[in-house]
Amino acid sequence: MPPYDHRAIEEKWQRYWREHQVFRSEIDPSKPKFYVLDMFPYPSGAGLHVGHPKGYIATDIYSRYKRMRGFNVLHPMGWDAFGLPAEQYAIETGTHPRETTKKNIDVFRRQFQSLGNDYDWAREIDTTDPGYVRWTQWIFRKLYERGLAYLAEVPVNWCPALGTVLANEEVVDGKSERGGHPVVRLPMRQWMLRITAYADRLLEDLNLVDWPDPIKKMQRDWIGRSEGARIFFEVAGWPNERIEVFTTRPDTLFGATYMVLAPEHPLVEKVTVADRRSAVEAYVQEVAIRSERARIAEVGEKTGVFTGAYAVHPVTQASLPIWIADYVVATYGTGAIMAVPAHDIRDFAFARKFHLPIVEVVSGGDISKAAYIGEGVNVNSDFLDGLPTPQAKQRMGEWLEQHGKGEQTVTYKLRDWLFSRQRYWGEPFPVLHLEDGTTKLVPESDLPVLLPELEDFRPSGEFEPPLARVRNWLEVTDPDTKQKALRDANTMPQWAGSCWYYLRFCDPHNAQEAWSRDAERYWMPVDLYVGGAEHAVLHLLYSRFWHKVLFDLGLVHTPEPFQKLLNPGMILGHSYRYFDTNLSDDPEVTPKVFPSSAVRFENNTPLDKVKGEELKARWVPSQEVRWGEDGIAYHPTIDGLVLEEVTEKMSKSRGNVVNPDDIIVEYGTDSMRLYEMFMGPLEKGAPWSTESIPGVSRFLQRAYRLIAGDREDTDGPTSLVDGPGTLEQARLTARTIQGVTTDIEDMGLNTAISKLMVFVRDIARDAPLPRASAEAFLLLLAPFAPHLAEELWVRIGNQPSIANQSWPTYDQALVVGEEITIPIQVNGKLRSKILVPADSSKDEILQLAQKDEKLAEWLRGTTPRKVIYVEKKLVNFVV
C-alpha cells in the first residue's frame, strides 16, 4: 500500500460525510448564518470538464472556512434543467427531454460528488420537477396580478424550411445555423414582462451590493438611463397624426433639418406619398430580410429612402422631409428622431450622403468638416441664441411644455423582457385564453400546469409552437364561466427557473409555499454568489427584477438578493490546429492542407498566404497530436504537417477538453482542488496544465509523511511532541495561521496554499513536529484538501469530523519576530541589509546603518545630502 492512498482516503471520507450528514444545514437562530451560492449548472450531455469546478471549489473552501469560524453555512446545489439542447436531442432521436435530463443530472451529480464538496444534498433542486414548476408558475401569477406580465405582438425568427422558430443565436447571417435556410422575422403574440417599470430601482440599488465594478457598470449601461425631452412634430396633411421623438439635446431643435423614422414605424405606411410608395416598400422589405449581423457589419454606411411626406417644425413651422432609415432603431426611444446633422455624427453622415441641409446651432466646431457634438453657445436659434448648452436645454424644455409641443423626460435603453419561447421543454404559462377574447390565470389550486406528453418532437412546419399541436391539452373548458378556452402554447424561457432558485434552496421541500417566511428571514440574502461573468447582465438583472417584485409583495425581506458577487476566470485548454481547402466539409475530397505559417487572416477569415484562397480551420484532438523530438506538434497521420498550438476555451469541437474524472482517478480530488486554486487568482483565466499537478500532489504527500510518518503500518496513530515546540516552530505556526486566514478572507487562495507549502517545508527542519503545530496545520488545510485533513486529523488521535472544528487562533506577539531586516539603499539602490531588534527606534537604526561596513564603501568620500527613513521598513542615503 502506497503511503498516501488518495483513492482509499477520499472514498472513506466522502462516505463518512454522507452517512453522518456532516453538511446538513438547518435553521439555528443561535448561530449567525452564511449563505454561499454557486450559479447552478445546466446539466449538459457532455458532463463536466476541469474548467467547471474552479468556482465550485473556491466556494467550497470558503464555506468550509466559514463553518469552522462558527457560521451556520448554507451551501446547496441543483440543476437548471430546462433548455434547448435536451429538446434538440429529442428532435433528433425521439428521446423524451425528461429522460435526457435525468440521465445528464445523474452524471453531473456523480461528478459533483466526486469533488468532495460540502453541499447539503438534501436540498438538491431541479427546475423541471413539477414541485418546482408549480412555484415558478405561482410567481408568474404574482407578476400577472401586479400588471407586470402582458401580451404583445413581437417578431420572432421563423424558418419556413425547418418549420420552427429559432433563437437569435441559431440565426447566422439571416440564415439558420443548421442547414443555412432563410429566416424571416414574423410577429407572434407573446408574453412580455414589464422590467422597465423597475429600471430606476435596478439602477439605484446597485449601490447596495458588493459586486465587481465592471459588472455594475455593465448593468448600468444595459439599463442605459438618459435624460432629455420628448418633442412632438405635426405631419403636414395629417392633422390627426404626429411624430414623437426623443432627444438628449433639445437645445439643438433649431438645427433639425429632416426627420427619420425606423422602417418598422407605424406611420411609415400611412404617410408615404403615392409615387414614393414602391421605393419605401422595397426598402422596408430589404431591411426586414437583412440580419442583425449584416446591419452591424455595415455600421457607418448609411442607407435610407425619402417618404415624400413632411413634418412641421414645432417652433419655426418649417417643413422637414421625413425619411426612413435603418440607423434609427424601432425599439429604442420612440423609433423616430429629429435629425440634427450639424451636431450628431450619424445624422451628419446621412445628410452628407443624401445632400440634406446642415445648419449649425451650437458654436465651437467646424461643421463644414464634421459634426460638432460638444457643448457650446447657441447660434441661429431664435430665443436660445447666446445661451450655453445646459441653459439652452433647460429653456427649450420649458418652452416645449408651455406650448404643449413636448415634455422633459427620461428614457431607458432597457426594454421589456420577452418572456415566451416557442418550445416544448419549458414551464407552461398558467393562463387560459377564453373564447370571449379575455385571458385569465389558472387558479393557484390548479398549479402546476404540466407539460403534455409528446411522442414526436419534430416541428410541425406550421407557424406555431409545438404545444399548439396537442389539441387535447390545449383545449379546455374554463371551470368558472364554462366557456371554451385555450391554454397558452408558449413556454417560459430558461431564465424563469434560475430567477428564484436561491429562494427555493432556503426551503426546498415545502409543499405548501414556495418558501417559508422563517426560512427566508433566516437565510437570505445570499452572502457570497459565485459564477461566470457571462451572466453579468441577463441572469443577474432578471433575478434582481423578480426579487424586487417579491420584495414589494412582502415575500422577501431584502431589496437585493445577492450581497457579494465574484466571477471566476475561465480555465483554458490547449488546442492544435491547421487549415485545409475543404470548405464544404465534403468527406469525399482530399483537401490541400496548410500549417498556420502558410496562412494569413483577413477579417478573421483564414486565407492561403500565396494564392489568397479561402481556408477552413481544423482541430486535432490533443490526445492525438504526435510530438516530434524537437517538441513540435505534428498531425497524427499527415506527415510533416506542423500544428499550431492555440490556447482557448475548452470545448468538444476543439478537442481540448480535460475530464476531471481522469484527473481524480490519477491524482485524487484533493490534488485537483489544490491545483485549480493554485493556478492563480480566482478571477483570472489561465491555461490548464496537467503537468503541473504533480507539484501540488507532492506537497500533499509531504504533508502526509510529515504527520503520519514514513512507516509502513500506516493505520496506527502518529506520535507527536507535546506542547508548542521551539520558539521558531511556534512563530512559523502563528504566521501561517495569520497568513492563511487573511488570504482566505481576500479570496487569495493561491497565496494561502503557498503559505501552507512553506509551513510543511520548514516546520520540522530543526526539531521534531509538535502537536500544536500539526493540529493547527490540519485545521488550515481542511478547507483546501478536506479528505486528507480528515484522515490525518484522526491519525493523530482526534475524533472526526475536522469540518466541524474551530478555526485555529494565534498569539499576535509570535507573529512579529525579535529581529527585523532593514534594507539599506544609496540613491535608491539596494546596497546592504542590517539586522536590528524589532523594537529599535529610528535613531538606533540609523546609527547601526551608518556603521555598516558594506555601506561604508558606497559612502566613502561623500556626505549624505539627505537620509530617508521609512518606519521599520527601509533606510535610503541620498548622496
Q: Taking contact as CB under 7 A, which single stretch among the options 68-76, 130-138, 240-248, 440-448 is the one that binds RNA? A: 240-248
As a whole number of angstroms, the distance between CA 65 and CA 726 comes to: 28
Q: Which three cell numbers stand for residue 488?
A: 397558452
Q: Looking only at residues 388 through 427 of this chain, which bind RNA when binding is defined by CB under 7 A?
A: 411, 413
Prior bond of 239 cis (ω within 30°)? no
SS3 track for 828-874? CEEEEEEEEECCCCHHHHHHHHHHCHHHHHHHCCCCCCEEEEECCCE
How many residues bind RNA (CB under 7 A)? The answer is 81
Counting contacts by CB under 7 A, is residue 685 touching RNA?
A: yes
What's the number of CA atoms in the CB half-sphere (13 Å) around residue 808? 26
**Residue 118 or residue 852: which is nearer to RNA going by CB?**
852
Contact 676, 792 (CB under 8 A): no
Write the single-letter amino acid at 587: P
Which stretches of 638-726 are DSSP H helices? Answer: 660-667, 669-678, 693-708
Residue span 355-384 as binding mask against RNA, x where in contact by CB under 7 A, dash where not: ------------------------------
Q: Which stretch binds RNA (CB under 7 A): 35-43, 241-249, 472-480, 718-726?
A: 241-249
Q: Is the preceding omega at residue 606 within 30 degrees of 0, hence cis?
A: no
* Window 251 to 290, contacts with RNA (CB under 7 A): 262
What residues from 166 to 205 belong to the interface with RNA (CB under 7 A)?
none
Of 432-491, which residues contact RNA (CB under 7 A)? none
Question: Out of 351, 541, 696, 803, which residue is the one contacting RNA (CB under 7 A)?
Answer: 696
CB nearer RNA, residue 536 or residue 772? 536
Segment near RNA (CB under 7 A); pick from 132-140, 382-390, 444-452, 826-834: 826-834
- Output the smallest distance, CB 224 to RNA, in A: 5
Residue 678 lies near RNA (rule: CB under 7 A): yes
Listed ranges 77-85, 152-160, 224-232, 422-430: which one lies at the site for RNA (CB under 7 A):
224-232
Complex with RNA: residue 74 or 325, whichever CB lies closer:
325
Cβ closest to RNA, residue 355 vs residue 873: 873
Min separation Cβ 379 and RNA, Å: 19
- Map the footprint of RNA across residues 507-566, applying CB under 7 A: 533-534, 536-537
Closer of 97 and 739 to RNA (Cβ): 739
Q: Smallest distance, Å, CB 786 to RNA?
A: 20
d(CA 775, CA 789): 10
Binding-site member from 45, 214, 266, 390 for RNA (CB under 7 A): 214
The CA distance from 202 to 567, in Å, is: 20
Nearer to RNA, 588 or 766 (CB): 766
DSSP H helical ranges for 128-210 = 130-145, 199-204
825 binds RNA (CB under 7 A): yes
Asked if 302 is part of the footprint of RNA (rule: CB under 7 A), the reply reads yes
Query: Which residues between 761 and 780 bind RNA (CB under 7 A)?
Result: 761
Smaller CB distance to RNA: residue 113 or 291?
A: 291
**Which residues sit opposite 126 in a β-bridge?**
79
Asked if residues 634 and 625 have their Cβ atoms less than 8 Å apart, the reply is yes
Any contact of residue 878 with RNA (CB under 7 A)?
A: yes
| Stretch of 268-276, 359-367, 574-582, 865-873 contacting RNA, by CB under 7 A | 865-873
Which stretch in 27-35, 200-208, 247-255, 308-316 sits in contact with RNA by CB under 7 A?
247-255
Distance between CA atoms of 148 and 499, rounded to whole angstroms? 15
Closer by beta carbon to RNA, 556 or else 657 = 657
Q: Which of residues 736-755 bind RNA (CB under 7 A)?
A: 748, 750-751, 753-754
Omega prior to 226 cis, within 30 of 0: no
| CA pair distance 78, 504, nearest whole angstrom | 10
Q: How far is the CB of 693 from RNA (least distance, A)?
A: 7
Q: Which of residues 833-862 bind RNA (CB under 7 A)?
A: 833
Find the binder of RNA among 1, 274, 296, 610 (CB under 7 A): 296
Contact 298, 211 (CB under 8 A): no
Buried b (16+ CB within 10 A) or exposed e, 306-343: bbbbbbbbbbeeeebbbbbbbbbebeebbbbbbbbbbb
Residue 6 Cβ, how far from RNA at the closest point, in Å?
Answer: 11
Provide the Cα torsion 694, 698, 701, 705; round to 10°: 160
Outline where 746-781 has alpha helix (H): 749-762, 771-781
**Residues 6+ positions from 483 with CB-CB distance below 8 Å:** 434, 435, 436, 477
The helix/strand count (H/E) of the chain reads as: 27, 36
Q: Does 821 bind RNA (CB under 7 A)?
A: yes
Q: How far apart are CA 414 and CA 703, in angstroms?
A: 54
Q: How far is the CB of 673 from RNA (least distance, A)?
A: 14
Q: Does 213 bind RNA (CB under 7 A)?
A: yes
Please identify which residue in 596, 701, 733, 805 interacts with RNA, judged by CB under 7 A.
Answer: 701
Name which position in 830, 844, 851, 854 contacts RNA (CB under 7 A): 830
The four Cα atoms 24, 25, 31, 37 give a dihedral, to 10 degrees, of: 120
Quick note: the x/- pattern for RNA over 89-128, rule CB under 7 A, is ----------------------------------------
In angstroms, rounded to a whole number, what is the distance separating the alpha carbons of residues 338 and 261?
9
Which parts of 49-88 interact with RNA (CB under 7 A)?
none
Between the alpha carbon of residue 704 and those of residues 114, 249, 774, 787, 795, the distances in Å are 21, 70, 11, 12, 10
Residue choice 56, 699, 759, 793 for contact with RNA (CB under 7 A): 699
Give the helix, strand, coil percentages of the chain, each rounded to 5.
40, 20, 40
Distance between CA 423 and CA 439 in Å, rounded? 21
Binding mask 307-346 for RNA (x = CB under 7 A): -------------------xxxx--xx-x-x------x-x
Residue count of the chain: 879
The residues facing 306 across adjacent strands are 323
Which string of x and - marks every residue 634-673 that binds RNA (by CB under 7 A)? --------------xx----------------xx------
Q: Does 155 bind RNA (CB under 7 A)?
A: no
> Among residues 537 and 814, whose Cβ is nearest to RNA?
537
Near RNA by CB under 7 A: residue from 298, 518, 819, 839: 298
Would you say 295 or 440 has its CB closer to RNA? 295
In angstroms and rounded to an integer, the radius of gyration of the C-alpha atoms of the chain is: 34
Cβ pair 606, 597 in contact under 8 A: no
Residue 681 one-letter amino acid: P
Query: What's CA 374's distance to the chain center, in Å?
Result: 35
**Residue among 285, 460, 827, 847 that touches RNA (CB under 7 A):** 827
Q: How crowded is the C-beta side of 33, counted as CA atoms within 13 Å?
A: 20
Per rule CB under 7 A, is residue 217 in the interface with RNA?
yes
Is residue 874 a contact residue for RNA (CB under 7 A)? yes
Residue 719: helix, strand or coil by DSSP? coil
Binding test (CB under 7 A) with RNA, winner from 282, 450, 583, 870 = 870
Selected binder of RNA within 386, 461, 695, 716 (CB under 7 A)? 695
Taking CB under 7 A as the binding criterion, the range among 55-63, 172-180, 615-623, 869-877 that sits at the site for RNA is 869-877
- Between CA 6 and CA 727 the distance in angstroms is 34
